[in-house]
């Protein structure tokens, strides 16, 4: 008998390679625990959508204000790399969905494999992102070493926007496109890294047999997070790379 005077509900393990799950004591049933956690997580995803949405609002606002800058700026981005990254993320979304399904059907090995593939997709995405940023650096469109440098109010020149080739000459405030591009893709990239970390944590739990048909909640929730990361990129890709 536990100290609070009544028993906890335990979900049994479906096999010897799994462990049972004890429902948190303030819930009466496993269903209540599952639905509460899922609703809570969807609410959290709603806040993420609104957070990113603010960035999209800023994008649309300045796209309307400086259409030429955004057109020209977008042309400096390599749409092929962007398309590859989109494909990588879509594939990783698929592997993640398959991973959740494997946990739901108590297939431990498959869960590990699919989660692992998803992490590989995340790494691939970040590698391609690195090369993209490197190219921007080389063209002087975003000089990372000078990113936090002093803004010279006298000349009006930004330390990190050097534009060696002069591609953005002739449009007003050329740096604005790249600043927004950098902010949006960097925050998105941060979420990719966080997502990969969460998936690794899921893999650890899977190895220990914590997730199975009776209790797959964390896998489900991390899967939702990963799909959100994919969702954001689905909108980012055409806006930044293709519309111009």
Partner 1 sequence: MTTNVPVIDTHSQAPAAGRANFMNCTSGFWSWAATLDHKRIGLMYLVGVGIAFLAGGLFALLVRLHLWEPTGTLFENAQYNQIFTLHGAFMVFLFVIPAIPGSLGNIILPLMLGAKDVALPRLNLLSFYLWLTGAVLATLAIVLGGFDTGWTFYTPYSLYTQQAVVTIGLAIFVLGFSSIFTGLNFIVTVHKLRAPGMTWFRMPLFVWALYATSLLQVLATPVLGITVLLVAFERLYHVGIFDPRLGGDPVLFEHFFWFYSHPAVYIMVLPAFGIISECVSVHSRKPLFGYKLIAFSSLAIAIISFLVWGHHMFTSGQSTYAMFAFSFLTFFVAIPTAIKEFSWVATIWKGSIALNAPMLYTLAFLIIFAIGGLTGVILGALNVDIHLHDTYFVVAHFHYVMMGSIALAFFAGLHHWWPKIFGVMYDEFLAKIACIVIFVGFNTTFLPQFVMGSRGMPRRYATYVPEYADFHRASTIGVIIMTSGIALMVYYLVASLFRGKQAMQNQWGGVTLDWLSPTPPPLENFDTPPKVVHEVYDYSTLDYQSMRTPVR
Partner 2 sequence: MSAHDHSHGDHGELQMGHHHISSSAMFLNVLLTLLVLTGVTVGASRIDFGAANMLIAMAIASVKASLVIAFFMHVKWDTAINKIVFLSSFLFLSLLFLFTLADHATRRMDGEINVTRTPVQFQWTQPAPQPHGN
8 binding partner 1? (CB under 8 A): no
| 86 interface partner picked from partner 2, partner 1, none, CB below 5 to 8 A per type | partner 2
| 214 interface partner picked from partner 2, partner 1, none, CB below 5 to 8 A per type | partner 2
Q: Which two tokens stand for residue 232?
A: 């954001």
| 176 interface partner picked from partner 2, partner 1, none, CB below 5 to 8 A per type | partner 1
Q: Assign residue 112 a region: left if phi > 0, alpha if psi is -120 to 50, beta otherwise?
A: alpha
194 binding partner 1? (CB under 8 A): no
CA–CA distance, 23 with 185 (Å, rounded to integer): 39
62 binding partner 1? (CB under 8 A): yes
CA–CA distance, 134 with 128 (Å, rounded to integer): 10
Please report, as residue ranges, which positions from 30 to 59 form the binding site for partner 2 (by CB under 8 A): 30-31, 34-35, 38-39, 42-43, 45-47, 49-50, 53-54, 56-57
Q: Which residues contact 19 (CB under 8 A, 6 or more apart)?
A: 13, 208, 209, 210
Orientation of helix 108-139 relative to helix 79-104, angle to 10°:
160
If binding means CB under 8 A, how many residues of this protein chain bind partner 2?
61
Among 46, 190, 234, 242, binds partner 1 (CB under 8 A): 46
Using CB under 8 A as the criterion, what x/- string covers residues 96-135 for binding partner 2? xxx--x--xx------------------------------
Q: Which two tokens stand for residue 114?
A: 């699919």
Task: Give the residue with the Cβ less far from partner 2, 12 or 166.
Answer: 12
CA–CA distance, 191 with 239 (Å, rounded to integer): 19
């Amino acid at each position: 008998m536990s100290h609070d005077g009544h028993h906890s509900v335990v979900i049994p393990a479906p096999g010897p390679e799994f462990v049972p799950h004890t429902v948190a004591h303030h819930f009466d049933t496993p269903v209540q625990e599952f639905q509460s956690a899922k609703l809570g997580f969807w609410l959290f995803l709603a806040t993420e959508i609104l957070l990113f949405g603010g960035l999209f609002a800023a994008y649309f606002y300045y796209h309307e204000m400086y259409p030429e800058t955004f057109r020209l700026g977008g042309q400096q981005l390599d749409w092929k790399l962007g398309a590859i990254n989109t494909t990588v993320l879509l594939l990783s979304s698929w592997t993640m969905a398959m991973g959740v399904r494997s946990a739901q059907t108590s297939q431990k090995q498959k869960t590990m494999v699919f989660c692992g593939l998803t992490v590989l997709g995340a790494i691939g995405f970040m590698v391609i992102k690195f090369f993209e940023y490197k190219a921007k650096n080389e063209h002087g469109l975003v000089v990372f070493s000078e990113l936090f440098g002093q803004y010279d109010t006298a000349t009006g020149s930004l330390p990190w926007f050097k534009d060696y080739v002069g591609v953005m000459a002739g449009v007003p405030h050329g740096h604005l496109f790249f600043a927004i591009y950098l902010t949006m893709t960097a925050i998105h990239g941060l979420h990719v890294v966080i997502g990969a970390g969460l998936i690794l944590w899921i893999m650890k739990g899977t190895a220990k047999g914590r997730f199975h048909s009776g209790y797959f909640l964390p896998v489900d929730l991390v899967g939702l997070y990963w799909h959100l990361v994919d969702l954001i990129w689905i909108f980012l890709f055409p806006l930044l790379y293709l519309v111009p």
